[in-house]
Every structure is written in structure tokens, then in C-alpha cells.
């Protein structure tokens, strides 16, 4: 993958470097929309930076066949949201919910250039495919701090409803959904999450792959803010847990439920600490009372998407199906 010389020249010019020693491609962007790479600088205060070079023409093929104008527009919107996040919000995050600092952003025609702090130079050098207990707790701490810091913040320039699977942007997947009970309840599930008393900013794609860790796994930082927006914090929690849980173990009895309760207890304990620091006027117990019952509802919301998008996906299993049924019964009981 060849990085255009004009992009490299822009990095040098904007960061006051003497040159670029080398680059390494981290990955192509989803759907063929550009590339993410690391640039090693010469004669700059930054040893290396992360560069996201986004090119917006519609690709011909989508990995799972969802290649529609709606899908394309959602992706365009997501990159604009990410630009807005890094330009207007990212540099206000702190050491409890660290994110890459935005060093430079430029939009010209159908291209976007984001130059970001390299988290590997800030103590977050580890990327993990499997999460240890410490890493799971570290990410839940990050999410709790992020949610506490942004409690009540209006999503100016971000998604009005955060997450990549929210109902309003997924009509194709809803139409394809074969689970008639879940399909019928989709609107009710969405309203339960979007109209609950406490709303914050959610990361929107808080999977394990979007976190970087300290060497011992005890601290986490997050990347990839294309789907950040307003929402209930449980949406981030279930998406993260969906990326680290052993679902085969979760159907084996009380010990597995105790593990989930431990994770939720940790999250809400950290949320309480964060609210005391950022929003002392908000009663953390009230937030927990509003959000904890929505754990299963957030799972049902995600299942509504995943069962329409990819019916054979491994995240559809006995545990998630049981939670979805629990959510449907819970919501039915409130009518």
C-alpha cells in the first residue's frame, strides 16, 4: 500500500519535522475507505504519530454484502463524526479516560487527514486479542470514566444516537431480521435506551480491538471514534463484554452470573467515582438504578442488529438469546 507523497509532506509541514524516517501500515480502513498508518518522524517533538487518511468514494464490494447507498452514507457520516470528535472533544479527555490527542485535521474535497498522538509513546503500547481479567476491568474503568465525564453532554457534531448499530441507521438489517418477536419490539427497545433519564456520550464501538493497554494491562486508552454519540452507557458495556466473554462458559450456571455481576459492580463503582469528580450534582445511585436494568435491554438492541446483519454470527448464542428474552419480558411487563 503506497501512501501518497502529498500526505507525507503534509505531516512533515504541520508537525515541524525534518522528515519521515519510515511508515508502517497498521490496517486498511473498513470497506476500502483509506488507510491507517504510523509515521516515524525525524527532528520533531513527536517520535511517531498515527495518521488516518480517509478517501471517500464508494467501493464496489462490502465484506458482508451490505453495499448500499445507505451504508455508504452512514460511513461518510461516521468519518465526519470522527473528525468532529477529535477536533472538538478529544483534547478535553483526561488520564482517567485517555484518548489520542488530535494534532492536526484537514478536510479537502473527498479526503480527510487526521494526525493523532501515538498512544504507544504514551504508555499504551499493548494491543490484545484476548483480555486478561485486569484488562477487562481496565476497559470498564475507562468506559465508566468516559461516561461520567460526558454525562448530560449534548452531542454537537456527533451522532444524535451513538453506536454503529442503532435502529434509525439500520433499516436494511431490521428488514432482514427473521426473529419476529425481536423485530416487533425493536422500537420499544430503542426508546427504552434513548429515553432513559440519564444520557451520556457513548464510544459507540467499544470492542477490545479499539483499546490499547499499558504493559501490565492495568490501564487502557481508547481509539476509533466514528460512532461516538448520545446514549445509555450500557450500550458500550455490552458491546465491550461481547468482545471478551467466553460465551460457552456463561451458560454453565451461577458462577458465570457472578462474574457478570462482578464486572457490572466494578463499572458502577468506577462510574460513582467519576461522577463524584466530574458531575457531583448527579446522584450516582440514581444512575445505577436507571441503567443496571437496561443491561439486558442493551443486549437485545445489539441482537436486533446482529441477527439481521449476520444471522450465523458467533455473538448469537444461548447467553445472548436468554438476555434478549429477559429484556422482552421486562419491557412487556412495563406496558
- End-to-end Cα separation, the chain, in angstroms: 55
Go through the domains of the chain in sequence order and give each one's CATH number: 5-121 (3.30.200.20), 133-333 (3.90.1200.10)
φ, ψ for residue 275, nearest 5 deg: -65, -35
Averaged over 144-155, what is the pLDDT? 97
* 259-266: Cβ within 8 A, 24+ apart: 263/136, 263/137, 263/140, 264/237, 264/292, 264/295, 266/137, 266/140, 266/141
Q: What is the DSSP string of 272-291?
A: HHHHHHH-TTS-HHHHHHHH
Rounded distance, CA 291 to CA 301, Å?
Answer: 14
Q: Which of 49, 301, 273, 263 is nearest to 146 (CA)?
A: 273
Q: Is 188 left (phi over 0), alpha (psi -120 to 50) or beta?
A: alpha
pLDDT in tens, 89-115: 999 999 999 999 999 999 887 889 999
Are 69 and 43 in contact, with CB atoms under 8 Å apart?
no
The strands making up 34-42's β-sheet, listed across from edge to edge, are 19-28, 34-42, 48-55, 111-117, 102-108
Q: What is the pLDDT of residue 169?
A: 92
Packing angle, helices 295-309 and 234-242, rounded to 10: 60
Pairing mode, if any, of strands 111-117 and 48-55?
Answer: antiparallel
User: What average pLDDT does this structure show over 163-182?
Assistant: 96
Task: Give the pLDDT of residue 66.
Answer: 40
Q: Where do runs of H (alpha helix) occur along the chain?
A: 5-15, 69-88, 133-149, 171-176, 180-194, 234-242, 247-250, 254-278, 284-291, 295-309, 318-333
| pLDDT tens column, 16-38 | 999 999 999 998 887 678 889 99
> Which residues share a beta bridge with 24?
38
What pLDDT, on the 0 to 100 scale, is given for residue 110? 80
Q: How confident is the model at residue 62, as a pLDDT?
A: 46
Q: For residue range 235-254, list pLDDT tens digits in order.
A: 999 999 999 998 887 766 65
Q: Share the mean pLDDT of the chain.
A: 92
- Among 28-42, 51-65, 130-144, the range scoring the smallest mean pLDDT is 51-65
What pLDDT sits at residue 272?
98
Residue 295 neighbours by CB under 8 Å, 6+ apart: 234, 237, 238, 264, 323
Q: How far apart are CA 166 and CA 152, in angstroms?
A: 19
Amino acid at each position: 500500500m503506497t501512501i501518497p507523497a502529498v500526505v507525507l509532506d503534509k505531516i512533515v509541514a504541520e508537525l515541524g519535522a525534518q522528515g519521515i524516517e519510515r511508515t508502517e501500515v497498521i490496517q486498511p480502513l473498513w470497506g476500502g475507505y483509506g488507510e491507517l498508518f504510523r509515521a516515524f518522524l525525524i527532528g520533531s517533538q513527536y517520535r511517531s504519530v498515527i495518521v488516518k487518511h480517509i478517501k471517500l468514494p464508494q467501493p464496489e464490494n462490502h465484506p458482508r454484502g451490505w453495499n448500499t447507498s445507505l451504508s455508504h452514507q452512514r460511513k461518510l457520516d461516521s468519518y465526519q463524526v470522527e473528525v468532529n470528535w477529535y477536533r472538538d472533544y478529544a483534547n478535553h479527555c483526561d488520564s482517567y479516560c485517555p484518548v489520542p490527542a488530535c494534532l492536526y485535521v484537514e478536510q479537502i474535497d473527498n479526503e480527510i487527514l487526521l494526525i493523532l498522538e501515538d498512544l504507544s509513546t504514551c504508555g499504551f503500547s499493548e494491543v490484545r486479542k484476548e483480555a486478561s481479567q485486569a484488562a477487562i476491568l481496565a476497559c470498564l474503568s475507562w468506559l465508566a470514566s468516559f461516561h461520567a465525564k460526558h454525562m448530560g453532554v449534548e452531542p454537537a457534531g456527533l451522532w444524535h444516537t451513538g453506536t454503529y448499530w442503532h435502529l434509525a441507521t439500520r433499516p436494511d438489517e431490521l428488514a432482514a431480521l427473521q426473529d419476529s418477536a425481536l423485530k416487533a419490539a425493536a422500537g420499544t427497545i430503542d426508546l427504552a435506551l434513548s429515553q432513559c433519564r440519564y444520557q451520556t456520550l457513548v464510544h459507540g464501538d467499544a470492542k477490545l480491538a479499539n483499546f490499547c493497554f499499558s504493559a501490565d494491562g492495568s490501564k487502557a486508552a481508547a481509539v476509533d471514534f466514528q460512532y461516538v454519540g448520545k446514549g445509555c452507557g450500557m450500550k458500550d458495556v455490552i458491546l465491550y463484554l461481547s468482545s471478551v466473554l467466553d460465551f460457552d462458559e456463561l451458560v454453565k450456571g451461577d458462577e458465570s452470573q457472578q462474574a457478570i455481576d462482578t464486572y457490572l459492580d466494578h463499572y458502577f463503582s468506577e462510574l460513582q467515582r467519576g461522577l463524584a469528580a466530574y458531575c457531583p450534582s448527579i446522584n450516582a445511585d440514581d444512575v445505577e438504578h436507571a441503567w443496571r436494568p437496561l443491561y439486558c435491554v442493551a443486549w437485545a438492541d445489539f441482537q436486533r442488529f446482529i441477527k439481521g446483519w449476520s444471522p450465523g454470527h458467533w455473538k448469537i448464542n444461548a447467553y445472548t438469546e436468554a438476555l434478549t428474552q429477559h429484556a422482552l419480558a421486562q419491557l412487556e411487563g412495563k406496558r
